[in-house]
């Protein structure tokens, strides 16, 4: 039976009981409106840990002033049913007031990595993510925490934060779960009209073209980006925000693909901003 808890004290008490029994703990941080992408993380955590906590929290500190904090989709009842089906123990669903003191003055900032890619149009986003993830890790003290490669920059930043601050949790990256036509599953896909939903397939198609260029032996990042952009240009409803090939170490653009890279895109389809990516290592 999945238990829903709303206070930090309740989660801590549960984790204490589990620890006393020698149980391992997995954490899956989410903003809710769960889909199969989230389910893959939860299922993996359930398989790898005796206990799993799924947090469902639309974190206000990671939204900019003109972003979709208010309209972000929410459905706790459905989320709890999905978490239960996956076999997790607890849904942690705090209010913003439970998570944040009005006079809080501590920030968590990963220098550099958060300024690139999505950081250019969402300047406060990754600081907000680091703050909430730090808090969730402090509250649940898990052995492992699960993050999707769907949000690849987030995954790289969280890994760096955990390393730099000796947080002692294992960060587990999980592959992107996609719709049948290739669109990466996302809670924000619900914003798309039928016409936009059909157009959104262009994201994964464009990345497939970029990957094909790399697999053909090309090592120029510009050539990869050109191939991606050409496919995106074929869809009139798609307005690319960025198309980049970056180092997985620094998240800065590379000229040539020599070590592991992340090829990442952000594209507006109508009013909805979608992201997608792939990792590529020419030496593997």
Active site residue 125: no
- Name the nearest CA neighbour of 132 among 158, 166, 103, 169: 158
- Given 37, 114, 128, 210, the residue binding ligand AMP (CB under 6 A): 37
48, burial (CB in 10 Å: exposed 0-12, middle 13-18, buried 19+): middle
Q: Give the shortest CB-186-to-ligand AMP separation in angstroms.
A: 6
Q: Give the shortest CB-142-to-ligand AMP separation in angstroms.
A: 14
- Name the nearest CA neighbour of 213 among 203, 202, 204, 222: 222
- CB under 8 Å to 41, separation ≥6 — which residues? 28, 30, 146, 147, 148, 174
Site string for ligand AMP, 182-201 (x = CB under 6 A): --xxxx--------------
Q: Are 70 and 94 within 8 A, CB to CB?
A: no
- Given 18, 92, 126, 147, the residue binding ligand AMP (CB under 6 A): 147
Separation CA 13–CA 261 (nearest Å): 42
Cβ proximity to ligand AMP: between 25 and 254 the closer is 25
Using CB under 6 A as the binding rule, whether residue 38 contacts ligand AMP is answered as yes
Using CB under 6 A as the binding rule, whether residue 137 contacts ligand AMP is answered as no
Q: Which residue is nearest to ligand AMP (CB)?
A: 148
Q: Contacts with ligand AMP: how many residues (CB under 6 A)?
A: 17
Using CB under 6 A as the binding rule, whether residue 176 contacts ligand AMP is answered as yes
Q: Give the shortest CB-243-to-ligand AMP separation in angstroms.
A: 20
Using CB under 6 A as the binding rule, whether residue 177 contacts ligand AMP is answered as yes
Q: Give the shortest CB-193-to-ligand AMP separation in angstroms.
A: 20
- Given 132, 171, 174, 213, the residue binding ligand AMP (CB under 6 A): 174
Using CB under 6 A as the binding rule, whether residue 150 contacts ligand AMP is answered as yes
Region of 87 on the Ramachandran plot (φ > 0 left; ψ -120 to 50 alpha; else beta): left
CA distances from 136 to 5, 19, 257 (A): 14, 17, 35
Q: Are 152 and 264 within 8 A, CB to CB?
A: yes
**Segment contacting ligand AMP (CB under 6 A): 36-44, 162-170, 216-224, 248-256?**
36-44
Buried b vs exposed e over 16-43: b needs ≥16 C-beta within 10 Å? eebeeeeeebbbbbbbbbbbebbbbbbb
Separation CA 259–CA 249 (nearest Å): 10
Q: Give the shortest CB-3-to-ligand AMP separation in angstroms.
A: 20
Cβ proximity to ligand AMP: between 171 and 213 the closer is 171
Considering the candidates 35, 38, 93, 125, report the single residue annotated as catalytic. Answer: 38
- Given 2, 30, 134, 277, the residue binding ligand AMP (CB under 6 A): 30
Active site residue ranges: 38
């Amino acid at each position: 039976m999945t238990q829903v808890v709303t206070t930090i004290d309740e989660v801590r008490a549960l984790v204490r009981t589990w620890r006393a029994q020698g149980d391992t703990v997995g954490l899956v941080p989410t903003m809710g409106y769960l889909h199969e992408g989230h389910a893959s993380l939860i299922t993996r955590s359930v398989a790898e840990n005796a206990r799993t906590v799924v947090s469902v929290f639309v974190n206000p500190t990671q939204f900019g002033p003109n972003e979709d904090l208010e309209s972000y989709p929410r459905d706790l009842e459905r989320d709890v049913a999905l978490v239960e089906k996956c076999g997790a123990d607890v849904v942690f669903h705090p209010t913003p007031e439970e998570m944040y003191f009005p006079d809080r003055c501590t920030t968590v900032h990963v220098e550099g990595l958060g300024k690139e890619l999505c950081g250019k149009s969402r300047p406060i986003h990754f600081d907000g993510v680091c703050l909430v993830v730090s808090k969730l890790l402090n509250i649940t003290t898990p052995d492992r925490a699960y993050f999707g490669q769907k949000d690849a920059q987030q995954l790289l930043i969280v890994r760096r934060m955990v390393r730099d601050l000796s947080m002692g949790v294992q960060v587990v990256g999980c592959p992107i779960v996609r719709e049948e036509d290739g669109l990466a599953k996302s809670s924000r896909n619900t914003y798309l009209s039928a016409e936009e939903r059909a157009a959104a397939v262009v994201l994964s198609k464009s990345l497939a073209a970029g990957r094909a260029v790399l697999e053909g032996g090309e090592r120029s990042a510009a050539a990869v980006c050109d191939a991606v952009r050409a496919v995106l240009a074929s869809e009139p409803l798609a307005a690319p925000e960025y198309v980049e090939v970056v180092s997985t170490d620094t998240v800065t653009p590379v000229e040539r693909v020599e070590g592991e890279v992340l090829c990442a895109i952000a594209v507006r389809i109508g009013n909805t901003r979608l992201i997608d990516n792939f990792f590529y290592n020419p030496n593997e």
